[in-house]
């Protein structure tokens, strides 16, 4: 198979660097175009991307000249790691010019005609693309992945839909890399916990119900979700404690089986970024932990542990996912892999 050329909008940011790194070793996609703001335009990528990954900057990207985010110049398929303050206008302009935008930004996630996709959970939401094209008049398209904490919660709840989730309370402990670079000042976060992340609780609550919903997410899942979001001094990996109440209360063994046996289209199709399995259920009493478990499945698996009875709701457990991989660049790349397999990138 000939490699599919792709580009990255916002290539210099924290998420953009994950895109560049993962695409450099991707078996299907070849990254030939990098774009960012006027600050970076015309300069070598290595001189404007403050490289923060432990792997070195890919040779294919280091000397590439960064372009302006102007539609029509780059490849048809572009990933977006743009700052949300500019992503709306830029992504729309790219879709209107015929590009397929696989976005990680929040701007279009709750648009009823834009799939908010987790390939294991709601691959069928891609059927929105036909209507999107007609209603918006775009020759291209926009597909989004969820917020970095939402994806962990939605993947943990998806296998439990068979027991009719009635309510869920989630408290997060979110890594600093989720705030981009330079992000949260060290004097605010070192030795501290910040119990506020602007807009995050509302995003978790609304996005989760769209993802688990039907009719492309236009009929939201009928459960109540309440989120508490906290920033903690962890580098990578969002951990969350989750309590769930059901209409049909299952036993803990039934919940564990549902989580362990969960699988979806990416696993069936053996997509290159698909973790096998997508949910790792651990028995150890003090796991998952971000330093030990965030990289499982190449950063694409969600780890679940400490499943036990809840005296207030029905059951409770801990879930963890890598925020810049499963919560951002890895998620968008998996979306594009599914779209390619479904013939939607041509
Ligand atoms: P970041 O490190 O601040 O990077 C932002 C990127 O946007 C940079 O490449 C920047 O380019 C570019 N940009 C800013 N203003 C621009 C403009 N006027 N025109 C063109 N490009 C512009 O942010 P991040 O953490 O990578 O996040 C990127 C997006 O992903 C955001 O929408 C964020 O909400 C979302 N997200 C992040 C995470 C995470 O874990 N970090 C997870 C899920 C979703 P310059 O370097 O040239 O300024």
Other Cβ atoms closer than 10 A to 59: 9
Residue 222 resides in a domain: yes
134 and 169 co-located in one domain: no
Residue 225 resides in a domain: yes
Instruction: Give the domain CATH number at 131.
Output: 3.40.50.720
29 and 100 co-located in one domain: yes
Which residues partner with 316 through β-bridges? 243, 308
Catalytic-labelled residue, pool 26, 99, 125, 238: 238
Tokens representing residue 75 in the block: 């490849």
pLDDT at 178: 94
98 and 181 co-located in one domain: no
Give yes or no for residue 346 having a pLDDT over 90.
no
From atom 38 of ligand 1, which residue's Cα is the shortest distance away?
178
168 and 127 co-located in one domain: no
Residue 141 resides in a domain: yes
Domain span at 45: 4-147+329-341
142 and 161 co-located in one domain: no
198 and 306 co-located in one domain: yes
**Ligand 1 centroid distance, CA of 305 (Å):** 32
51 and 200 co-located in one domain: no
Give yes or no for residue 1 having a pLDDT over 80.
no
pLDDT at 150: 98
Residue 346 resides in a domain: no
Count of the separate structural domains present in the chain: 2
127 and 268 co-located in one domain: no
322 as an active site residue: the answer is: no
Mean pLDDT of 115-130: 98
Mean pLDDT of 29-56: 97
pLDDT band at residue 180 using 50, 70 and 90 as cut-offs: confident
**Ligand 1 centroid distance, CA of 83 (Å):** 4
Nearest Cα residue to 327 out of 178, 222, 200, 196: 178
143 and 174 co-located in one domain: no
86 close to ligand 1 (CB < 6 Angstrom): yes
Q: Encode pLDDT of 68-85 as tens digits.
A: 999 999 999 999 999 999
From atom 47 of ligand 1, which residue's Cα is the shortest distance away?
37
205 and 222 co-located in one domain: yes
Mean pLDDT of 139-150: 98
281 close to ligand 1 (CB < 6 Angstrom): no
pLDDT at 135: 98
12 close to ligand 1 (CB < 6 Angstrom): yes
Closest ligand 1 atom, residue 68 Cα: 20
Q: Encode pLDDT of 252-268 as tens digits.
A: 999 999 999 999 999 99
Residue 244 resides in a domain: yes
Give yes or no for residue 237 having a pLDDT over 80.
yes
pLDDT at 147: 97
Residue 171 resides in a domain: yes
From atom 19 of ligand 1, which residue's Cα is the shortest distance away?
37
Instruction: Give the domain CATH number at 232.
Output: 3.30.360.10
Give yes or no for residue 132 having a pLDDT over 80.
yes
pLDDT band at residue 225 using 50, 70 and 90 as cut-offs: very high
**Ligand 1 centroid distance, CA of 159 (Å):** 32
35 and 139 co-located in one domain: yes
190 and 289 co-located in one domain: yes
**Ligand 1 centroid distance, CA of 223 (Å):** 32
pLDDT at 282: 98
pLDDT band at residue 2 using 50, 70 and 90 as cut-offs: confident
Give yes or no for residue 65 having a pLDDT over 80.
yes
pLDDT band at residue 155 using 50, 70 and 90 as cut-offs: very high
Residue 137 resides in a domain: yes
From atom 15 of ligand 1, which residue's Cα is the shortest distance away?
37
Encode the chain in three state secondary structure. Answer: CCCEEEEEECCCCHHHHHHHHHHHCCCCEEEEEEEECCCCCCCEHHHHCCCCCCCCCCHHHHCCECEECCCCCCCCEEEECCCHHHHHHHHHHHHHCCCEEEECCCCCCCCCCCCECCHHHHHHHHHHHHHHHHHHCCCCEEEECCCCCHHHHHHHHHHHHHHCEEEEEEEEEECHHHHCCCCCCHHHHCCCCECCCCCHHHHHHHHHHHHCCEHHHCECCCCEEEEECCECCCCCCEEEEEEEEECCCCCHHHHHHHHHCCCCHHHHCCCCCCCCCCEEECCCCCCCCHHHHCCHHHHCCEEEEEEEECCCCCEEEEEEECCCHHHHHHHHHHHHHHHHHCCCCC
């Amino acid at each position: 198979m000939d490699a599919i050329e792709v580009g990255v909008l916002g290539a210099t940011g924290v998420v953009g660097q994950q895109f560049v790194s993962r695409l450099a070793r991707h078996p299907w996609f070849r990254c030939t175009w990098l774009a960012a703001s006027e600050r970076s335009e015309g300069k070598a990528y290595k001189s404007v991307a403050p490289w923060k990954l432990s792997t070195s900057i890919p040779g294919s990207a280091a000397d590439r000249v960064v372009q302006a985010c102007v539609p029509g110049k780059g490849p048809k398929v572009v990933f977006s790691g743009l700052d949300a303050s500019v992503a709306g206008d830029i992504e729309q302009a790219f879709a209107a010019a015929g590009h397929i935008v696989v976005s990680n930004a929040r701007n279009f996630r709750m648009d009823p005609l834009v799939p908010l996709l987790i390939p294991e959970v709601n691959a069928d939401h891609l059927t929105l693309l036909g209507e999107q094209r007609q209603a918006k008049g775009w020759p291209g398209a926009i597909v989004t992945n969820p917020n970095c904490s939402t994806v962990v919660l939605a993947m943990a709840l998806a296998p439990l839909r068979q027991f009719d989730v009635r309510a869920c309370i989630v408290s997060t402990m979110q890594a600093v890399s989720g705030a981009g670079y330079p992000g949260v000042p060290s004097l605010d976060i070192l030795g501290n916990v910040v119990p506020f992340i602007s807009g995050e609780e509302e995003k978790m609550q609304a996005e989760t119900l769209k993802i688990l919903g039907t009719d492309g997410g236009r009929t939201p899942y009928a459960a109540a979700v309440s989120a508490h979001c906290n920033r903690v001094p962890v580098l990578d990996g969002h951990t969350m404690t989750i309590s769930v109440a059901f209409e049909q209360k299952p036993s803990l063994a039934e919940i564990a089986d549902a989580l362990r046996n969960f699988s979806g289209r990416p696993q069936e199709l053996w997509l290159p970024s698909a973790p096998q399995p997508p949910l790792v259920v651990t028995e150890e009493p003090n796991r998952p932990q971000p330093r030990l478990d965030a990289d499982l499945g190449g950063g694409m698996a969600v780890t679940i542990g400490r499943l036990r009875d809840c005296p207030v709701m029905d059951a409770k457990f801990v879930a963890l996912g890598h925020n810049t991989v499963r919560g951002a660049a890895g998620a968008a790349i998996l979306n594009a892999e599914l779209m390619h397999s479904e013939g939607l990138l041509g």
